[in-house]
Amino acid sequence: MTSSGRRTVYLDHAATTPMLPAAIEAMASHLGRTGNASSLHGSGRAARRTVEESREAIAEALGALPSEVVFTSGGTEADNLALKGLWWARLKEDPRRRRILLSGVEHHAVLDPAVWLAQHEGAQLEWLPVDALGRVRPAEVRAAIEEDPASVSFVTLMMANNEVGTLQPIQEVAAIAAEHGIPVHTDAVQAVGEIPVDFAALGVDAMTVSAHKIGGPYGIGALVVHKETQLVPIVHGGGQERDVRSGTLDTPATAGFAVAAAHAVKHQADEGQRLIALRDRLINGITSTVPGALLSGDPIDRLPGNAHLSFRDCEGDSLLLLLDARGIEVSTGSACNAGVAEPSHVLLAMGYDDQRARGSLRFTLGHTSTGADIDAVLDNIGPVVERAMSAGLQNVGRNN
């Protein structure tokens, strides 16, 4: 509820989704128990049992082997481990492998470590172009690889875009890279629970997932790493997690993560259809009543819960705050980049002009979303856009 007593409409599930009651219960049941999963006494073994049972449940949900699930503190650490770990492992095998192929629509958890590798380790970043819908074409990946396959370190391409919701052809890209023995990493943080995700079937070498996007706790995620893929650790200490990621394991969080993953995958098909119906009603309602409102991303091959729209002559931040004042919580894009007064790098890569890139909102639905939430947005979006447009025109007049 807001301070005025109005019900809060939460449509920012891509940033984080409310924890599932079953995940809260699973996590809470372990919070009062003592035991380090690396200890050999009874309490330690009990904690280890919980961790390994959780690992097995997560692996089953993701189509992976339990030994392939490496727990991390979340998606950002998992992406860093994937990029830096692959880079140093591949470079150690062959110093010619300095090219990293990636798209310009990746999350900053991928972009920033890639840029760091370029600035500090001599990596050569090659940007795979995206079309107007935000999708990489497999033919472009093949062309980039075949320029000089021996010099490619790895390919990283997200499974589903966190801003516009477009799905990427991961399986095709992985098959092309495999022809040349080149590993592929995919950030699947937004995909799990929304679309089918099967690690083995995808053919990738590493895959990032995060618990708080699927109804699990904050502060835990995983990098799923193929059993034959070599990574150089970026965190050293106790040698936990196959000596790939040291650190004391958060036993309660693994339990909550496991419950959330199992639930998300079990209900994915039915929940996906429910969210598509809500999402399409939201998109159609906005685009048919708000002049100049345009859908971003692929209209069909997109995440079920994602509706990203751009608005003419408006600032996205203004729209967000005006909606927030009415008890409707949405986003202008990635929560990890919120508050930065710059147009979205995703939309610019898709060919948007500066104004359209700034005047965008991301509505993302999840397991708590209802038809009443959609009604609230449709009742308020028109007046909010009119007010934001008026404010924008007044500011233009003052600057002229």
Residues acting as catalytic residues: 336
Q: Are 57 and 262 in contact (CB under 8 A)?
A: yes
Q: Which two tokens stand for residue 208?
A: 């990032």
C-alpha distance from residue 64 to each of 50, 188, 197 (Å):
18, 14, 10
Question: What 3-state class would DSSP assign to 288?
Answer: helix
Alpha helix (H) residue ranges in 152-203: 170-178, 199-202
Distance CA 228, CA 86 (A): 12
Buried-state track 159-177, b at ≥16 Cβ within 10 A, e below 16: bbbbbbbbbbbbbbbbebb
Which amino acid belongs to residue 130? V
CA–CA–CA angle 220, 225, 228 (5° rounding): 160
Distance CA 18, CA 13 (A): 8
Question: What 3-state class would DSSP assign to 155?
Answer: strand
Distance CA 4, CA 124 (A): 53
Q: How far is CA 267 from the centre of its chain?
A: 19
Q: Which two tokens stand for residue 222?
A: 């995983």
Q: Are 132 and 350 in contact (CB under 8 A)?
A: yes
Distance CA 311, CA 330 (A): 14
Helices (H) and strands (E) in the chain, counts: 13, 12
DSSP label of 211: G
| Residue-wise DSSP of 326-385 | TTEE-BSS-GGGTT--S--HHHHHTT--HHHHHSEEEEE--TT--HHHHHHHHHHHHHHH
